[in-house]
Structure 1
Amino acid sequence: MKSIHKYIWMALLAVCAVSSCKKYLDVTPDGVGTIDYAFRNRNEAENYLFTCYSTLQKMQNMHYDAGFTTSGEIVFPNNLSDNTYMDLTGFNILRGLQTSGNPALNYWDGNNGGQDLWQAIRRCNIMLENVDKPVDLSPSEKKRWIAETKFLKAYYHFYLFRLYGPIPVVDKNLDINSPIPVTKIKRRPVDTVVNYMVRLLDEAAPDLPPVIENTAKELGRITSVITLSLKAQILATAASSLFNGNPDYASIKNKDGEALFNPTFDASKWDKASAACLAAITLSEKSGLKLHTYTPEAGIDNLNDTLTTVLATQTAVTARWETNTELIWANYTTFPEEEYCFPRLTQKSVSNIICAGTFAVPISEQELFYTSNGVPITEDKTWDYNDRYGFRTGDDANKSYIGVDYQTVKAHFNREPRFYADLGFDGGVWFGNGVGDPDNAFVLRGRGPESFAGPKDNVRVNVSGYWPKKLVNYLSVYDDGYNRVPYHMPLIRLADIYLLYAEALNEQGKPYTEAAQYIDKVRARAGLKGVAESWTKFSSNPNKFTTKEGMRQIIHQERRIELAFEGVPGYDLRRWKELQGVMSKPLQGWNVRESTLENYYRPRLLATPVFNTRNYLWPIQDNDLIVDGNLVQNLNW
């Protein structure tokens, strides 16, 4: 079995028969002879199956993921003197630069940072239409390939659904001789799209293996665990505020008057989401999946419990796919943007431009993480929120987190382990980078005459003073060169499904104890006590978890912390209709060009987000509305 990334037919099969129909969503490509050749035997058909997967492999760059670039988690500087290495299209959306004339991250047409997902869906339809042709294809393989293709169709539809809302459903390709009016299709209501995606997944799941046994040859292929987990995500999205009883979009209708959004809330949608989450969890655990724990690599010595907990969180993302027990699904192509997350930790790295370190985390994201007591910094009765920007010196009691005798702000002390796993900051301990002894771990120096991490010119600059440490494999080394130890960016982790189930249970109105047990699983891995104990003992709102609204806030914050920088919170904030609140405040960072303690720790403006109701959904490109007169635009574009 060839690996998924070894495909050869994509260029031959991506051409539309009539040049003017490029924008149509479901016209069969030309080259019938080529298609016949592609399915003449099992090996050629397998190559075509991999073309159906191929679009996934092109989506590994996080700066083209709307969930990453428009979440408020990362700011990328837009005034670098040399920016030949990063496309700012996605990052500039939060600055108000989205347009309907040439949409950024256009996954409808496949330009301006996006992939053409309608083309990907057409390939899947071609696969399903021709999979019976190879006479040497065994029945069992045929069933598996059909199931994989149906999953991919559902996933590509879901990706479009999250961005555009109600979309056309492309179940079959139209014949090339179809009259022009037939090719001008319309968008379908939200419930129709959701039911279609779920039906595809229900049909696919029984014919897929729960796990990949032969990882050397089949790593990245779809499993039934992946399928049920995606179904849970789809149904939770459909049950959420953006799509379930959203009055803002009541006016969006097809030209024949058909409403595309149901403005009436339907509580039963959370019942469906809850059942799907439980099914995904049950099969995952039955198949051997569990929350990842850290096992030291060779040469890593003398780890204390504190650092082990930090590494358990960090390596839940960066551990090898084959050994990561909670990784349900990841991008087959290894994460290519680690260098944008890596600070300069040594003198030799200062003169090395390989690692830009320019993915900057704003102060607001830093403040999202809990205190060491496992509650928000605004609620902890023992944590001095008002003096959080005062100064404190690192000591032996905090040496696993803060450099001893290094001065930094008090906000960096007494935070939860995920704070130290996810963020690099001035004065923070950075374990790894070639040093396996925690007593000699690097301390990130972002300011002062000994600063390695601070800006040396306008090319190498982290504009906030915070780095997304979570996205750096601690085994990678950046010194006079860059030795990257690759990993696969998660698409779905078991922790995600646990928290999604907790959310569904709470939205169903179940007792807080039912939801809390799944949140507490994730919190325990992060070194925190359970929700009830933490809030009762330390929160100024000790009964918060006992109400549906209070538990909702806890779950939402827990998801934003646990899944930070993985492209998930951005989509969560959209489906919850909470992104507008996040974007209502300026994004700030520290005054990184200053070297003194007092001047460095002064918040400064990084970006003023532009976001209103229309920004929850992507615009369809104006030209598409001209080509297909049956398409209608999203609200206020």
Structure 2
Amino acid sequence: MKRMYKFIVICSVLVCSSSCNYLEVVPDNIATIDHAFSDRYTAESFLGNCYWYMPSSANPNASPAYMGSGEFMHQRAMLQTSMLIARGAQTAANHQINMWGGGNGGKKLWDGINNCNVFLANIHKVMDLTDAERKRWIAEVEFLKAYYHFFLLRYYGPIHTVDSYMDVSEDTDVVRQERQTVDECFEYIVGILDRLAEEKSLPTTISNPREELGRITLPVVMAVRAKVLVTWASPLFNGNTDYANFKDSEGRPFFNQQVRPELWNRAADACREAIDICHNAGHALYMANDVVNNFVLSDDSKIQMAYRSAVSLRFNHEVIWTNTQSLVNGTYQDYMIPHLRQVSQGVTSGWYSPTINVAEMFYTENGVPISEDTNFDYEGRFERMSNSSSWKTYNIADGGETAKLNYYRENRFYASLGFDRGKWYNFVGHNDWEKSDQNAPTIQARYNEYSSMYNPNNYSSTGYFAKKLVSVNSGFTEQHRFAAEAYGYPEMRLSDLYLLYAEALNESKSGPDAEVYQWIDLVRDRAGLRTVEESWRLYSKNPNKPSTKVGMREIIQHERNIELALESENYWDARRWKTAIRDYNRSLKGWNVLRQEAIEYYEVQTLFNQKFSHKDYFAPVPEYEIINNPKLVQNPGW
């Protein structure tokens, strides 16, 4: 008999039919602490309460990173909270996605941390637990406490660490805490994760993922520890002189003012340890030969479906950590997929729209940026072109007229983005769509066509669609029915870890070498690309770029932006690299989607002029928190 965790969202996947129903469960309030730990059942409920505070990464109204980077746009009538952040609407008085005090879509992570401390202080009272179970639960909650601290640290900058339960009756001076230096915060978080790595109280794998998907494992701990250390070593937190005058009450700068190269060494070691643990646990990149079906697919389509499966296929071996607090269900997928035939109008909306900026970011088919490729018509990229030579008709419809920007691109481009006259293949289809990639439906997104606007709130405002985030097993199974297979958000994939390792190695060495290239080339190989050195030597206007530390840094950063596109990572990466001041002062662009003729449709429109200043590297501490706690110092600029 399946044991469901009634209060625990970590076990939110109950598979009782072929369609796999997902549960969204919120823990009940528990009257007293004594009752909460009176037996295994109530303690398990409290464990679920600790998991409940996990930020919902796939919810644009609850995750600052989802649309906060400007990867997505949508029409003004449907503004999501994270889009308000990208549009510069964040203020201390009206905090969007408030993770400090809760509100405007944000969970109060300090409550989550406090509940974790309550659990840790009382779990010893439960008598009907085995020692192994108790140790596992303690390790899970210790990890959650560390992760909630890490989230707050990335979002707000210096915080105060809370290692023990604070009762509501505590003296005001005890409750009112001063912010600590970022080094002290990172040391605290890493200290917890180091201890969990040494104790090994967590399983390396989930034995029954259909019931326990999302629970913390040893690979999760190791991978997150690696990401924490890479973040600490990055320019935002390591020797950031922009914050030289941001000091505590004793005059200490919150940010260390000298770059500490040894942090990159620690990060590289942690990445390697995490990779070894993940490999031993069975995690591997999801490759084209993992795509098993009886359908007729080109080699390119297999690569594309492997890349998409790594994100959206349930239980796939590339995902290290699935966030089941954040389900990409039918509602969200409806917002990403366009109408794929006339009769499907009104079924889906497709209004979560990647920008032209995202489309420009992907490599050419030669594995280098479009601005560097000696064979790509960069200056003419917005011109129209017909597929009269039947070039890869599984990507672009035979004879279809679309922008040159959409031709001759790498497989991750076609796996991630849908566009006018592009093809959209899924394993589930209608009228034999799924039998062959050549049968895949064509997006027709010009005004009055079936993939375009059918009411003022339901259309792509850019002309692009987020194919990557629609499950490979979702599709139109009947003329008027879109059936979506929900999946837990991939909080961390193995390719993410590989690229973190490549980055840490590059930064810890005097210059790139074979070891640095190895880990980025593994990710590129899955995408069907040549190695970095070969691609730049054969096709780039700057063939020596991979041979320098600075050049390789840019390549690794670009690779991360592509590999993890639309997965909320760019929001955090651009900040820790301190490139956001460059990257986020730009025009966000789309096609002229309310025009019917191709000559008018393919006119580039500026949808919004994104602005970013130094203060935006961190969210403001909510104004009322500053008023309630005079010891708190507001972030600079707010």
TM-score bucket (shorter structure): over 0.9
Closer/same/farther in 2, CA of residues 133 and 60 from structure 1, 3 Å limit: farther
Partner of 1:387: 380
Aligned residues, how many?
Answer: 607
Structure 1, residues 539-579: CA drift from partner, whole Å, max 9, x if none?
01000000000000000000000001111121101100111
Structure 1, residues 335-373: CA drift from partner, whole Å, max 9, x if none?
1311111111111222x1x42211111111100000000
SS at match of 2:354: coil
SS at match of 2:194: helix
User: Which stretch shifts more, 462-471 or 327-336?
Assistant: 327-336
SS at match of 2:556: helix
Partner of 1:107: 99
CA distance in 2, matches of 1:429, 1:565: 19
Structure 1, residues 130-158: CA drift from partner, whole Å, max 9, x if none?
01101222111111111101000011111
Alpha-carbon offset, residue 255 of structure 1: 2.6
Task: Kindly indicate whether residue 444 of structure 2 is the aligned counterpart of residue 445 of structure 1.
Answer: yes
2:340 aligns with one of 345, 359, 376? 345
Closer/same/farther in 2, CA of residues 629 and 10 from structure 1, 3 Å limit: farther
Alpha-carbon offset, residue 390 of structure 1: 2.0
Partner of 2:540: 539
SS at match of 1:604: strand
CA distance in 2, matches of 1:495, 1:577: 22
Alpha-carbon offset, residue 397 of structure 1: 2.9
1:128 aligns with one of 117, 120, 129? 120
Partner of 1:365: 358
Structure 2 gap ranges (5+): 13-24
SS at match of 2:85: helix
TM-score of the superposed pair, with normalisation by structure 1: 0.92
CA distance in 1, matches of 2:290, 2:282: 21
Partner of 1:378: 371
Which one-letter code corresponds to 1:447 in the other structure?
R
Residue pair 2:291, 2:305 contacting (<8 A) in 1 also: no
- Counting only pairs closer than 5 Å after superposition, residues 495-514 of structure 1 correspond to structure 2 as 495-509=495-509, 510-514=511-515
Alpha-carbon offset, residue 293 of structure 1: 2.1
Task: Kindly indicate whether residue 81 of structure 2 is the aligned counterpart of residue 89 of structure 1.
Answer: yes
Task: Kindly indicate whether residue 33 of structure 2 is the aligned counterpart of residue 35 of structure 1.
Answer: yes
Structure 1, residues 254-300: CA drift from partner, whole Å, max 9, x if none?
23323211121111111111111001001111111110124688875
Alpha-carbon offset, residue 175 of structure 1: 4.1
Task: Kindly indicate whether residue 130 of structure 2 is the aligned counterpart of residue 138 of structure 1.
Answer: yes
Which one-letter code corresponds to 2:537 in the other structure?
T
CA distance in 2, matches of 1:106, 1:250: 26
Which one-letter code corresponds to 2:213 in the other structure?
L
Partner of 1:192: 184
Which of structure 1's runs of 4+ aligned residues deviate more than 3 A?
6-11, 57-60, 294-300
Task: Kindly indicate whether residue 419 of structure 2 is the aligned counterpart of residue 425 of structure 1.
Answer: yes
CA distance in 2, matches of 1:63, 1:294: 34
Task: Kindly indicate whether residue 300 of structure 2 is the aligned counterpart of residue 283 of structure 1.
Answer: no
Residue pair 1:406, 1:427 contacting (<8 A) in 2 also: yes
CA distance in 1, matches of 2:268, 2:292: 41
RMSD over equivalenced CA pairs, Å: 1.8
Partner of 1:597: 598
CA distance in 2, matches of 1:496, 1:576: 16
CA distance in 1, matches of 2:558, 2:45: 43
TM-score of the superposed pair, with normalisation by structure 2: 0.92
Which one-letter code corresponds to 1:47 in the other structure?
S
Structure 1 gap ranges (5+): 14-30
- Counting only pairs closer than 5 Å after superposition, residues 146-295 of structure 1 correspond to structure 2 as 146-205=138-197, 206-294=200-288
Alpha-carbon offset, residue 301 of structure 1: 1.3
CA distance in 2, matches of 1:569, 1:392: 31
Which one-letter code corresponds to 2:457 in the other structure?
V
Which one-letter code corresponds to 1:273 in the other structure?
A
SS at match of 2:402: strand
CA distance in 2, matches of 1:615, 1:166: 14
Residue pair 2:512, 2:546 contacting (<8 A) in 1 also: no
Structure 1, residues 179-216: CA drift from partner, whole Å, max 9, x if none?
21221111111011101111111222311111111223
Alpha-carbon offset, residue 309 of structure 1: 1.0
SS at match of 1:373: coil
CA distance in 1, matches of 2:635, 2:277: 38
CA distance in 2, matches of 1:110, 1:408: 45
Residue pair 2:320, 2:493 contacting (<8 A) in 1 also: yes
CA distance in 1, matches of 2:273, 2:623: 41
Residue pair 1:545, 1:554 contacting (<8 A) in 2 also: yes
CA distance in 1, matches of 2:64, 2:371: 29
Alpha-carbon offset, residue 52 of structure 1: 0.6
Partner of 1:26: none
CA distance in 2, matches of 1:51, 1:314: 32
Residue pair 2:336, 2:465 contacting (<8 A) in 1 also: yes
CA distance in 1, matches of 2:309, 2:333: 14
Alpha-carbon offset, residue 120 of structure 1: 0.5
Partner of 2:392: 398
SS at match of 1:488: strand
Which one-letter code corresponds to 2:357 in the other structure?
S
Residue pair 2:95, 2:104 contacting (<8 A) in 1 also: yes
User: Which stretch shifts more, 257-266 or 488-497?
Assistant: 257-266
Which one-letter code corresponds to 1:522 in the other structure?
V
CA distance in 1, matches of 2:607, 2:26: 44
Partner of 1:325: 317
SS at match of 1:482: strand
- Counting only pairs closer than 5 Å after superposition, residues 541-556 of structure 1 correspond to structure 2 as 541-556=542-557
Residue pair 1:408, 1:427 contacting (<8 A) in 2 also: yes
SS at match of 1:216: helix
Partner of 1:624: 625
User: Which stretch shifts more, 562-571 or 293-302?
Assistant: 293-302
Partner of 2:473: 475
CA distance in 1, matches of 2:611, 2:81: 15
CA distance in 2, matches of 1:544, 1:498: 20
CA distance in 2, matches of 1:272, 1:365: 33
Closer/same/farther in 2, CA of residues 10 and 314 from structure 1, 3 Å limit: closer
SS at match of 2:73: coil
SS at match of 1:48: helix
Identity of aligned residues (%): 39
Closer/same/farther in 2, CA of residues 407 and 55 from structure 1, 3 Å limit: same
Partner of 1:23: none
Which one-letter code corresponds to 1:109 in the other structure?
G
CA distance in 1, matches of 2:126, 2:583: 53
CA distance in 2, matches of 1:401, 1:11: 49
